[in-house]
Amino acid sequence: MNTKLLSLHHLIKATILFGFAMYIVYLVKTDNILYYIAPRMVDYVKWSAVGFYAIAVYQVYQTIRTFWGSKAACDCDHDHTPSRSVLKNALIYGLFCFPLLLGFALPDTTMGSSLAAKKGMNLSSANSVKKETSSNATALSESLSAPGATATAPSTPGIGSLTPVPSPSGNSAGAGNAAGTTAGSSAGAGSSAKSSTDPDEMFPSDKFTQHYAAYAKQLYQDGGVIPVKEELFLETLTTVDLYLDKFVGKKMQLTGFVYREDDMKNTQFVVGRFTIQCCSADASPYGVLVDYDRAEQFADDSWVTVTGTIQQTKFNDMDIMLLKVEKITKAEPAKAQYVYPNFDFGA
């Protein structure tokens, strides 16, 4: 291939690499990078920009070197000469240029109601925790029913022991109950725990829920309004949802965007936020159903701060938390509009 044409290929590669590096720098400088990835991933993306710059500089060096007639040789017996087909080259370079052009051309916007409707708003944030506890109890039941299984109780009660371990719902239904024991005694223990004022009895736990139980005791004993802080958004909702019967009548305050579904009442909407673990691809909407007489005053995707009394209701045949609004105000969208798992929770 003509050295001038080959140098053009190196120049195109350098331009594309510089473009990606500049786009990352733009996102970081404007903080718009938080629309796409979680804060803990930002440093990795910054380092990738440095890598793009370094490779782009090398491609510029190759451009100059090749232009003056010197071609690199790696002695690997492979032909690294680019294709002479214009269409093939256009398609290959287009795979890199197209997303880069979209990044610069399209506005950086946050996710809202339209995406929440597609993904499905999660109104019971404790579901995943309950499923883990339930699946563990099922696995224990199957292991005990296997031939040769013995019912020996370990000295330390736990999720794998036969000593009854209180479940998060407040009943004293442990592994033994899951293995087939009658529910009568556990129901009695559940009613006893429910009437107790001892926090340890009010908020029973196993190894999957011990951190939530500890946080539930803190929230219950603090009194006053339960604040749903951004740094503990999902953890707070999960804790209250997990022990919902103990928090009925308590007050809660949270901020988020307004979301509605067709089968909701005119007085109802959801105050929600998107949670992200790694990037926008794994975003999931979580929220709390609220009830307010003048709910129609607030448009979809507008931001509000709501203070209300925690109640329990049914929605789509599921028991969920309901916030009976006592105070509601318009709010400015948060600078970082998404919330993230707190990996220090329970540490």
- Residue 272, judged by CB atoms within 10 A of its CB (0-12, 13-18, 19+), counts as buried
Mean of the per-residue pLDDT values of the chain: 79
Q: How far apart are CA 269 and CA 203, in angstroms?
A: 29
**Residues 174 and 163: beta-carbon distance below 8 Å:** yes
pTM, whole model, 2 decimals?
0.70
Q: How far apart are CA 62 and CA 6, in angstroms?
A: 9
**Residues 253 and 305: beta-carbon distance below 8 Å:** yes
What residue spans of 160-316 are helical by DSSP H?
175-178, 184-195, 199-202, 210-222, 233-242, 244-247
pLDDT tens digits for 257-304?
A: 999 998 899 999 999 999 998 888 889 999 999 999 999 999 999 999
pLDDT for residue 182 is more than 50: no
pLDDT band, very low/low/confident/very high, at 76 (cuts 50, 70, 90): low
Which of 2.40.50.140, 3.40.1210.10, 2.60.40.10, 3.40.50.10540 would CATH assign to domain 119-141+157-339? 2.40.50.140
Spatial neighbors of 315 by CB under 8 A, at least 6 apart, are: 123, 264, 289
Q: How far apart are CA 130 and CA 81, in angstroms?
A: 58
Rounded to a whole number of angstroms, the distance between the first and last alpha carbons of the chain is 61
Q: How far apart are CA 222 and CA 229, in angstroms?
A: 15
If we measure between CA atoms, which residue out of 110, 151, 116 comes closest to residue 260?
116
Render the burial of 15-51: b for 16+ CB within 10 Å, e for the rest. Answer: bbbbbbbbbbeebeeeeebbbbbbeebbeeeeeebee
**Residues 132 and 210: beta-carbon distance below 8 Å:** no
Sketch the domain layout of the chain as residue ranges. Answer: 3-73+81-109, 119-141+157-339
In the numeric block, the tokens 């007639």 are attached to 69
pLDDT tens digits for 124-133?
A: 888 877 665 5
Q: How far apart are CA 195 and CA 197, in angstroms?
A: 7
Spatial neighbors of 235 by CB under 8 A, at least 6 apart, are: 212, 215, 341, 342, 345
Bridge partners for 310 per DSSP = 323
pLDDT tens digits for 189-229?
A: 344 444 567 767 888 888 888 899 999 999 998 878 999 99
Q: How far apart are CA 139 and CA 207, in angstroms?
A: 15
| One-character DSSP codes across 92-124 | HHHHHHHHHHHHHHS------HHHHHHH--BS-
pLDDT band, very low/low/confident/very high, at 71 (cuts 50, 70, 90): low
pLDDT tens digits for 163-179?
A: 333 444 444 333 333 33
